[in-house]
Amino acid sequence: MSAPAANCPNCGAPVVFRWSSAVQTTCEFCHSILVRTDVDLKKVGEVADLPPDASPIQIGSEGVYQNKSFVVIGRIMYAYEQGGWNEWHLIYNDGTSGWLSDAQLEYDLSWLTQPPVSQPLPAHDVVNRGKRFEWNGKIYEVTSITKAHYQGVQGELPFQYWDKADAVFADLRTTDGDFATIDYSDSPPKLYLGRPAEFEELHLKNLRQFEGWA
């Protein structure tokens, strides 16, 4: 896998991408938010200090799920009325990418999915609990709608995501536990299909160490 490199246009520090398809990253030295166009980098902002959290996952954590290894290369943080959560951007050993949602010790893996043309995603102001969709042969039902506040980014992302404020997410479930999320933070909205995972199923290593851990 190639690892394109450049220099931060703000401080001159080297910036090496773990994923060749990354569109946005943050400079580890000056915390500039950088958007990539081919091999050129443009500073578009500066990331604020992210609020503390108790997640053991960090940039560079590695894991394996269903015989596919992955590494964590980016993060988006959100807050809502009941707390907050991380969306970790993963790159798999076959070059594909996905997401690991990390909320109060609950973990969900998901992947961007193109909805069928015959069933476009509803606008956020008309989606409601109980509405059903069929994707990939499974019936998903809307179980909750969450209004969240964007708190910051870290590392490499597959899209530009530095000037957000608030976002709306519709979460859906199947009867056998699979889930889906309609992400309204962009237009048109995006669909992610996935499944929950136990922490042990992820076989994680290179985790954050907290005081008092053995």
| 114 and 31 within one domain | no
Buried/exposed 157-178: b ≥16 CB within 10 Å, e otherwise: bbeebbebeebbbbbbbeeeeb
In a domain, 172, yes or no: yes
| 156 and 185 within one domain | yes
In a domain, 52, yes or no: no
In a domain, 191, yes or no: yes
How far is 90 from 75, CA to CA, in rounded Å?
9
Q: How many helices (H) and strands (E) does the chain have?
A: 0, 15
In a domain, 213, yes or no: no
| Element housing 37 (H / E) | strand 32-37
pLDDT tens for the chain, 214 residues long, are 445 678 888 898 888 888 878 888 888 888 888 888 765 777 776 776 777 788 999 999 999 999 999 999 999 999 998 889 999 999 999 999 999 999 988 999 999 999 888 888 988 888 999 999 999 899 999 999 999 998 888 999 988 877 778 889 999 999 998 999 999 988 889 999 999 999 999 999 999 887 655 4
| 90 and 33 within one domain | no
Query: Residue 1: its pLDDT value, please?
Result: 42
Instruction: Tell me the whole-structure pTM to 2 decimals.
Output: 0.87
Overall domain count for the chain? 2
| 67 and 35 within one domain | no
| 73 and 42 within one domain | no
Phi, psi of 24, deg, nearest 5: -135, 145
Q: What range does the domain containing 37 cover? A: 5-46
Query: Residue 212: its pLDDT value, please?
Result: 56
**Do 164 and 150 contact (CB within 8 A), yes or no?**
yes
Residue 114: CB partners within 8 Å, gap ≥ 6?
191
In a domain, 51, yes or no: no
| 83 and 36 within one domain | no
| 196 and 119 within one domain | yes
| 122 and 20 within one domain | no
| 11 and 79 within one domain | no
In a domain, 211, yes or no: no
